[in-house]
Structure 1
Amino acid sequence: MVAELNFDNPTVVSLVTYGAVLVGKMLFLLLLTSIVRIMRKNWANPEDAKAFSNARSNEEAKRMTVRDEAVERVRRCVLNDMENIIPFLLLAPMYVLTGPAHDTAVLFFRIFVVSRFVHTITYLFGLQPFRGFAYGAGLFVNSVFVYQIIKNGKF
């Protein structure tokens, strides 16, 4: 059975809702990166340091662009989200087109969303092995989607 991608399909409505939650989480992390940069007076570029801090010279501005571990941790979390959420957002609609049971699809969407929130919290606080488990859960969901798309695809 091939499902349709429209809002009459409750699985599509669920996907759009969970997808929006994930994108909102990513936007929050982008904002958090800026907040941490401001709090730590750590800028990505010398011109940012001059514009947004009290750096008076180019040399002083350059010193404010040295890597800061707190900023880098948030940035790596953003990159990890991009590496995992973007494939989910591409694969999930294709998965929905295979016509999965609504409850099964929603379960997978929820597992993925929870895994990304747990991953973010554990990443920001450096909590292993929980971060690895959360990453694995999201990877599992995306892998199931790939398998189901290939298995049920009409080539």
Structure 2
Amino acid sequence: MADLMENEVFKAFTTYAAIVILKMMLMGPLTGYYRMTRGAFSNEEDVSRKSAEDKKKLLRTHPEVERVRRSHQNDLENIVPFVVIGLLYALTAPELSAALLHFRIFAGARIFHTVAYVGALPQPSRGLSWILGMLVTFSMAYRVLSTVLLL
């Protein structure tokens, strides 16, 4: 493991993987913040101490809460594959410059995707950032498969 941590590509991967995982983890508290400030809860136990009339008002969906929640769901669908494929990619010994390009583009695309989703920026900003992140993951997957299949 110590040898692996001396590898510049692996260090870059762990750095950018940690960044996007932390970003994804922060979406949970952000969803909770939006639920609290917008007064929109999805579970009965979240409003159990309220009156019956208050419960009716609070057990509802809110567009801004749903926007943050969907952004979090999108992170789960994209960051988990990036981490798995990125680890395999890092193990194929790519050039550091190519690896950094992949990792930085993905991290930037995911951060921008969240800003575009939560901030309701006009399309195609969110769509393009999603596509960019997916292309990076597919590019790394191609490198992994082409390396493994050529052995």
Q: Tell me if TM exceeds 0.5.
A: yes
Shift in Å at residue 30 of structure 1? 1.1
Whether the 8 Å CA contact 1:46–1:64 is kept in 2: the answer is no
Q: Give the gaps of 5 or more residues in structure 1.
A: none
- After TM superposition, the structure 1 stretch with the greater mean CA deviation from structure 2, 121-130 or 86-95, is 121-130
2:107 to 113, 125, 136: 113
Mapped to 1, the partners of 2:81 and 2:106 lie a distance apart of 12
Q: 1:76 to 1:131 in 2, by over 3 A?
A: same
Q: Which structure: greater helix fraction?
A: 2
1:130 equivalent to 2:125? Answer yes
The normalised TM-score by structure 1 is 0.89
* Separation of aligned partners in 1, 2:83 and 2:61: 31
Residue of structure 1 in register with 2:54 after alignment: 60
| Matching of residue 90 in structure 1 with residue 84 in structure 2 | yes
Output the TM-score relative to the length of structure 2: 0.91
> What is the alpha-carbon distance in structure 2 between the residues aligned to residue 5 and residue 76 of structure 1?
39
Hey, what does 1:143 align to over in structure 2?
138
Amino acid in structure 2 at the alignment position of 1:131: R
Deviation at 1:78, TM superposition (A): 0.1
Unaligned stretches of 5+ residues in structure 2 = none
Cα offset, 1:5, TM superposition: 7.7
- State the identity %: 34
When the two chains are superposed, the root-mean-square deviation of aligned CA atoms in Å is 1.7
Paired residue total: 148
Alpha-carbon displacement from aligned partner over 1:96-119 (angstroms, at most 9, x marks no partner):
111100111011000000000111
The residue type paired with residue 111 of structure 2 is F
Q: Secondary structure at the match of 1:99?
A: coil
